[in-house]
Amino acid sequence: MRAVARIGAAAAALAVVGGAVYAVPHLRGGGGGAKPATEQRLGAKPTGAAPAPAGTPFTLVATGDIIPYPSIIQRAADDAEGTGRAHDFRKILAGVKPLISAADLAICHHEIPYGRPGGPYTGYPAFKAPHELADGLKDAGYDSCSTGSNHTLDDGYDGLVRTLDHLDRVGIKHVGSGRSADEAKAPALVRAGGARIAQLDYTYGTNGIPIPAGKPWSVNLIDEARIIADARAARAAGANVVVLSVHWGTEWQTAPDQQQRELAQALTASRGADGLPDIDLILGTHNHVPQPYEKINGTWVVFGMGDQVASFYEAEKARGNMSSIPRFTFSPAKDRPGRWEVVKAEYLTQYSDMTPPFRVVCTSCAAGDDTLSAADKSRYAAVDRQITAAVASRGAHAQGLEHATR
């Protein structure tokens, strides 16, 4: 694992943004593989005389809440037989691995904490999952995960630490919770297409579980002023793209609620001293069901992707097994040096199929999959239509969003 890159204290520790002074955020996250390359530090200057590369387009994909209920944990245990592992999540995610691994930058939402090795592993209302989930996420191709949620503290501060330790172990960056004040205020940072991308993450709350005494920084809570300040600080320190992950909204509701609408409006309207947006993309989680996409003030907002890995058996909660996969292509902005902009907005659909063996499948890819039966293709097409209805319910198709099939 590479050492965590950080802004040194000898570097400019404060950034002046729009007349206000903000602490420049430290970098965070563990190491990683070749996709994407990590940036040494925000604000680092080239050492040679050659100009920095102009950059090339890159793709960003994201997925919704990963919630291993007991049935999923048992499936991972069954899949691990003969592998020497206690749990193996690779087969569960194999159906969407081609989409995730093909992206230049892939972001997950890590909803729950890891329990102690050997368990017990538990489901709702206080989740504890096996740490082998981190290995499955790495195998699928994820580069960074948001970790701030209403379940972050389900196993207390120790569970929070175990989760981040194992994400570090496999080389997945993380943001939204922290083991120190410095880590908590730092964006996750990756590099793709020559761009430096900072990911921020905040949650509406922790299900009434108190923030650990003496550790007020352990979970990032939604605060409009703080989000804007953190985005501006990341931008001032050298980020070309700022992506906001946010855990918000009303569970089981397709339409965004008042908090989502008002916060999205305020955050997308926020501009720095240069008049340019502070935030380039908003990715929502928490709602369990697919929610709409909408371009607000020129910025794409995914109100809610839905759960990527879930297992709802009740008929009235079947939508909880459906989710969308946003895919955005960023390219250098010709008229705004140092900025990247979305030049293509797409989505795919996916489904936690509980038909044994449990697997996550790309439902919008199903029509072209010759290994599927006609019955499965028909079933997945119906799921795809239902997710699409939610995604497009606020006019995203008219705003340029495309429905991808591969």
Q: What is the pLDDT of residues 85-130, one digit of tens each?
A: 999 999 999 999 999 999 999 999 999 999 999 999 999 999 999 9
For residue 310, which of 291, 287, 282, 279 has the smallest C-alpha distance? Answer: 287
Residues 6+ apart with CB under 8 A from 389: none
Tens-place pLDDT, residues 184-235:
999 999 999 999 999 999 999 999 999 999 999 999 999 999 999 999 999 9
Q: Does the residue 13 lie in any domain?
A: no
> Is residue 294, in this structure, part of any structural domain at all?
yes
CB 268 within 8 A of CB 299: yes
On whether residue 5 sits in a domain, the answer given is no
Q: Does residue 311 fall inside a structural domain?
A: yes
Mean local confidence (pLDDT), 28-45: 42
Cis peptide before 70 (omega within 30 of 0): no
Q: Tokens representing 212?
A: 């650990």
Q: What is the CATH number of the domain that holds 214?
A: 3.60.21.10
Q: Which of 46-60, 202-216, 380-394 shows the lowest mean pLDDT across its residues? A: 46-60
User: How far out from the chain centre does Cα 143 lie?
Assistant: 9
Number of structural domains found in the chain = 1
Question: How much is the pLDDT for 152?
Answer: 98
Peptide bond between residue 256 and the one before it cis (omega within 30 degrees of 0): no
Query: How do residues 308-364 score in pLDDT, each as one tens digit?
Result: 999 998 888 999 999 999 999 999 999 999 999 999 999 999 999 999 999 999 999
Instruction: Say which amino acid occupies 62.
Output: A
Omega prior to 36 cis, within 30 of 0: yes
Return the percentage of the chain with pLDDT > 70, whole number: 87
**pLDDT for res 54:** 65
Within 10 A of 135 (CB to CB), how many other CB atoms are there?
A: 19
**Domain assignment of residue 229, given as a range:** 25-42+55-403
Per the domain annotation, does 47 fall within a domain?
A: no
CB crowding 245-254: b at 16 or more within 10 Å, else e: bbbbbbeeeb
Q: Is residue 7 part of a domain?
A: no
Report CA-CA distances (Å) from 144 to 45, 81, 201, 315, 326.
24, 28, 11, 33, 15
Instruction: Write out the two tokens for 336.
Output: 């705004």
Residue at 303: amino acid letter: F
Residue 50 lies in a domain: no
278: its two tokens: 């502070």
Residue 152 lies in a domain: yes
